[in-house]
Copies of this chain bind each other. A is one copy, B any other.
């Protein structure tokens, strides 16, 4: 950590800061320039809150040398983390496909779709039971009943189920019934929720918030990991920019960047990123080409009558065609799918 002092900071004030740093277990190196006076901290600074230093009125700025996350940091954990969920692997060269409808609507719908995506080669069934919707007047999901229907679809197909947890008071039910607990983009910094799922041993699918930096995503993972649960899959799903033709801007450069900074697997959700069904196919292929560890894709039999997000859902036939293309790409890239 580098501390830049304001020009003209008195020696006595500088000494106070140095003492404080020494007490926190750091060794302090000084660099005195003509205009600037800089303190360089040596030691483990990952647990030092930079804001506590920046609050000193003699400090001009504080700059990180080390990343603020530790358990999620590849530097301290060089090998890829590989999750094995009921036999389906994610990470370390294993490409996982999660597919299914935006929301669970009926037993027929979810079972039918589960069979179709399984037949096409998907490894997980996704489906929303509790739905975060921008408007209180929109369909909010079947909730508890949705979980029941997902379980039936799992029984029928053997596909592990992925679904979103929105609030702490339903966590026990999720731990019991669900295979992968999804934390949605809007809850990426719902820190109490992160801590609670961190106390479970369930695999967590953590989506990047729509205005979260990569560093904040990794800090959210660190929250979960700091409570003991290291079974995390990250998910890039588009960030908010000024561009209006697409719902969000899919940040594919985040994929190789995350893999450089962290050992955790990371997948891509092209459906939510673009918000348009015909963009799913090219973005899914680009996600594999850029090095993602998997995809999460919305599939619906009758998008025009879907209860949510039909405009970004593809039909099973289109999904099947896409899976074929992805398998050919995986073959070329030497990826297990």
Complex interface bits, A243-262 against B, C-beta within 8 A gives 1, otherwise 0: 11110011111111100110
Whether a CB of chain B sits under 8 angstroms from the CB of A12 is: no
When C-beta atoms are compared, the residue in chain B nearest to A55 turns out to be B310
Contact A66 to B192, CB < 8 A, known contacts A136-B226, A213-B242, A240-B211: no
Whether a CB of chain B sits under 8 angstroms from the CB of A19 is: no
Tell me the complex Cα distance, A43–B301, Å: 31
Residues of B within 8 A of A245 (CB): 213-215, 254, 257, 261
Whether a CB of chain B sits under 8 angstroms from the CB of A87 is: no
- Shortest CB–CB separation between residue A210 and chain B, in angstroms? 6
Tell me the complex Cα distance, A135–B40, Å: 22
Q: Which of A90-98, A117-125, A173-181, A283-291 contacts B (4 or more CB under 8 A)?
A: A283-291
Tell me the complex Cα distance, A306–B51, Å: 9
Q: Interface residue tally of chain A, by bracket?
A: 35 or more
Whether a CB of chain B sits under 8 angstroms from the CB of A46 is: yes
Task: Select the residue from A215, A246, A256, A309 with max chain B CB neighbours within 10 A.
Answer: A256
* Among B46, B250, B285, B304, contact of A289 (Cβ-Cβ < 8 Å): B285
Would you call B246 and A253 a contact (CB within 8 A)?
A: yes
Whether a CB of chain B sits under 8 angstroms from the CB of A197 is: no
Whether a CB of chain B sits under 8 angstroms from the CB of A86 is: no
Would you call A252 and B255 a contact (CB within 8 A)?
A: no
Would you call B169 and A169 a contact (CB within 8 A)?
A: yes
Complex interface bits, A205-239 against B, C-beta within 8 A gives 1, otherwise 0: 00001110111100100110011000000000001
When C-beta atoms are compared, the residue in chain B nearest to A26 turns out to be B33
Task: Select the residue from A75, A279, A306 with max chain B CB neighbours within 10 A.
Answer: A279
Top 3 A-B pairs ranked by shortest CB distance?
A55-B310, A211-B211, A289-B289
24 A-B residue pairs with Cβ-Cβ distance under 8 Å, sorted by A, are: A29-B29, A34-B43, A38-B40, A51-B138, A54-B310, A55-B306, A57-B304, A132-B189, A134-B189, A136-B222, A136-B223, A213-B242, A239-B242, A239-B243, A240-B242, A246-B253, A249-B249, A253-B273, A253-B283, A256-B279, A257-B279, A285-B290, A286-B286, A288-B289
